[in-house]
Amino acid sequence: MAEQLNILVVEDCNADFLMVKRHLKQNGLSACCRRVGSLDGLNEAVHRDNWDLVLADYSVPQLNFHEGLHLVQAELPEVPVIMVTGTVGEEKAVEILKLGVRDFVLKDNLARLVPAIERSLKDATERRVRVAAEEALRQSEERLSLAMRGANDGLWDWYLKTGELYCSPRWKSMLGYADDELVNSYGNWERLLHPQDVAPALTHLHNFLEGRISRYEVEFRMRHKEGHYVDILSRAFLLHDDQGEAVRMAGTHVDVTERKRLEEENRQAQKMEAVGQLTGGVAHDFNNILSAINGFSYLILEQEQVSGCVKSYVEEIMAASQRAAALNVSLMAFSRKQAVNLAVIDLGEVLAGFEDFIRRMIREDIELKIICANEPLAVMADQGQIEQVLMNLVTNARDAMPEGGNLLMETLPITLDQAFVESHGLGNAGAYAVISVCDSGLGMDKETQTRIFEPFFTTKELGKGTGLGLSMAYGIVKKHDGFINVYSEPGTGTTFRIYLPRVQTMPQAVKTEPKDAAPLRGGAETILVCEDDAALRRLATRVLSHHGYKVIEAVDGQDAIDRFIEFSDSIQLAIIDLLMPKKNGKAACDEMKMLRPGLKAIFTSGYARDLIDQYKIVDEHTDFIHKPISPNELVAKVREMLDKN
């Protein structure tokens, strides 16, 4: 051996120690030997130096062999021990070898000593290599186990020739089973597949096994122990034998149910964001249309020759357009997260006034019955948003009665005590006004009821609902310091109850057109009307001209600037639509004010007010009117601005 060995010799006789040392040197073994002859000496030696080998005599007066061997094995577990002794019986030798001694050599036959040393050292080296490999394997398996736990993946290993399949405990727990509850078999895997996914999953598997596709990555649904289905992503690879034949297929199962749910919610959120943007874009044009309907209807009513019958028809048109405007404002307020526009309203009046609209929403095979409380039910609420809640609930009820049925809507007063609100987990005790919406439809089970107000949760088939109607209703009611409950059983219909806190103040009567004591005043000034909607432009021109004003029309922002330059000296006021083609109203007004500082202007728009506020257009020379605009409102605002100093 090239390297020098450190050998500890347990021997009481120095002559025997020297004999052994000389024999090793004569046989070409380079060694540094040290002799100890007591337990204390052995204890000190094993703790002080590093040893490659221990040679121990069996009979040492000051050292019990078994105690010494135990000490060496405890402190130097990888160091081989060879017994070198005078005489020992065969039976004793076997006993000693069983204790872990690598070999024994008689002192009168030292010829065996060097081969025994070389063999023991070789065995020790191989043992260390094996132990190191086993430890590396153990650590690798532990890291793999930790990685799989971190990834939350289930493992499977399929022996293609025998059909034997191994599924890890995590694989089974994804489906709700303990390790011993589900037998490892290909048949169980196929049996648990969703019926609609069996054919696609098997086709993908066969295509992979037969080499038509190079990658196995497929999603399918598997039935959980509790009956529902779990979305699984499966990936795998093939192992081949020396002849290139596939013999094993190993892979993972990943539960992607939550990921797919979040992806669907994200898609729905993107759709709703697009709807919100669309709402803002359409609102402007929609309010322009409503402004034209209201304005021209008002002009008809101003004609003295209008008969009573025609007058009633026109008033119905105006009432309907005003309701449409209120619903449009409510939708914009929700999508833009504006503050609730609170006012004291009577829920009975709201429901009664909404009846015609509800009847148009439901089908002819649904019988509608509305019962309002005998007393006013005053609440502080945004009427448009309450109507939005009713629309969502009515839509939900209609869809729950595909073959027709009964729809009952009712208002009633109720007082909730502390015990009731605590037992039901509701808000505060006190007086409430209740709107009840009850249908005779399909109903729902307890699990569905617990999730009915979750965003994006829907029981309707794909494409028939966003899952946002009831969550919107829930959010609106909560913003009004109220709460909403649902009561239902499968096959017996569903009842929603909305609880809103009552107030003592009675709602003020709302008039379609306020009748001012003083008549509207016109004038002779020149007004620039900049409006890209032709109907509204004609309406404003006709109304203002009727009250004595001279009107100059512009069809867009750039046209407004050109008109202002042409008639700059005569224009006292500009009425400007805020958002128009070519140049928006704010930019056009700024350019006109550069030509004449202090120009008075009235901006108009049908967009949500929070979007208007970002333009910061209102100052001492500028005001804003939200569409739809009544003729009286327009004339009054024009006179107000012209009369400002």
User: Residue 248 maps to which CATH number?
Assistant: 3.30.450.20
- Closest C-alpha among 361, 568, 364, 392 to residue 476: 392
Q: Is residue 375 part of a domain?
A: yes
CATH of the domain at 425: 3.30.565.10
The residue out of 222, 239, 255 marking a domain boundary is 255
Q: Is residue 321 part of a domain?
A: no
Residues 163 and 113 in one domain: no
Residues 30 and 110 in one domain: yes
Q: Is residue 334 part of a domain?
A: no
**What would the pLDDT profile of 302-328 be if each residue is shown by its tens digit?**
776 777 788 788 788 877 777 777 666
- Closest C-alpha among 318, 323, 326, 379 to residue 348: 379
The residue out of 479, 509, 539 marking a domain boundary is 509
- What is the pLDDT, as a whole number, of residue 462? 44
Residues 72 and 206 in one domain: no
- Closest C-alpha among 568, 632, 638 to residue 596: 568
- What is the pLDDT, as a whole number, of residue 152? 64
Residues 166 and 91 in one domain: no
Residues 172 and 120 in one domain: no
- What is the pLDDT, as a whole number, of residue 217? 94
> How does strand 526-530 pair with strand 550-554?
parallel
Residues 547 and 595 in one domain: yes
Q: Is residue 35 part of a domain?
A: yes
pTM strictly above 0.75: no
- What is the pLDDT, as a whole number, of residue 459? 56
Q: Which domain holds residue 194?
A: 152-255
Q: Position 244: which residue type? A: G
How many angstroms separate the CA atoms of 11 and 83, rounded?
10
Q: Is residue 323 part of a domain?
A: no
- What is the pLDDT, as a whole number, of residue 268? 65
Laid out side by side, the sheet with 526-530 consists of 550-554, 526-530, 571-577, 600-605, 622-626
Residues 615 and 546 in one domain: yes
How many angstroms separate the CA atoms of 564 and 572, rounded?
10
Residues 57 and 164 in one domain: no
Residues 533 and 489 in one domain: no
Residue 48, Cβ neighbours under 10 Å: how many?
9
- What is the pLDDT, as a whole number, of residue 201? 95
Residue 220, both tokens: 């399918």
Q: Is residue 515 part of a domain?
A: no
CATH of the domain at 533: 3.40.50.2300
Q: Is residue 284 part of a domain?
A: no
How many angstroms separate the CA atoms of 389 and 387, rounded?
5
Residues 346 and 486 in one domain: yes
Rounded to the nearest 10 degrees, the angle between the axes of helix 257-302 and helix 534-546 is 30
Q: How far is CA 295 from CA 178, 321, 323, in A?
A: 72, 11, 15
How many angstroms separate the CA atoms of 92 and 81, rounded?
16
Q: Is residue 573 within 8 Å of residue 527, measured between CB atoms? A: yes
The residue out of 449, 482, 509 marking a domain boundary is 509
Residues 379 and 489 in one domain: yes
Q: Is residue 301 part of a domain?
A: no
- What is the pLDDT, as a whole number, of residue 342? 80
Quote the Cα angle for 555-559-560, to 5°. Answer: 90
The count of structural domains within the chain is 4
Residues 124 and 159 in one domain: no
In order along the chain (645 residues), what is the average pLDDT of each group of 10 residues? 82 91 90 91 90 91 89 91 83 84 88 90 87 78 59 83 90 92 92 94 94 93 92 92 88 88 73 63 71 80 74 80 66 51 86 84 87 90 85 87 90 86 74 91 80 62 51 80 86 90 72 52 91 88 91 92 89 89 88 90 75 66 83 89 84
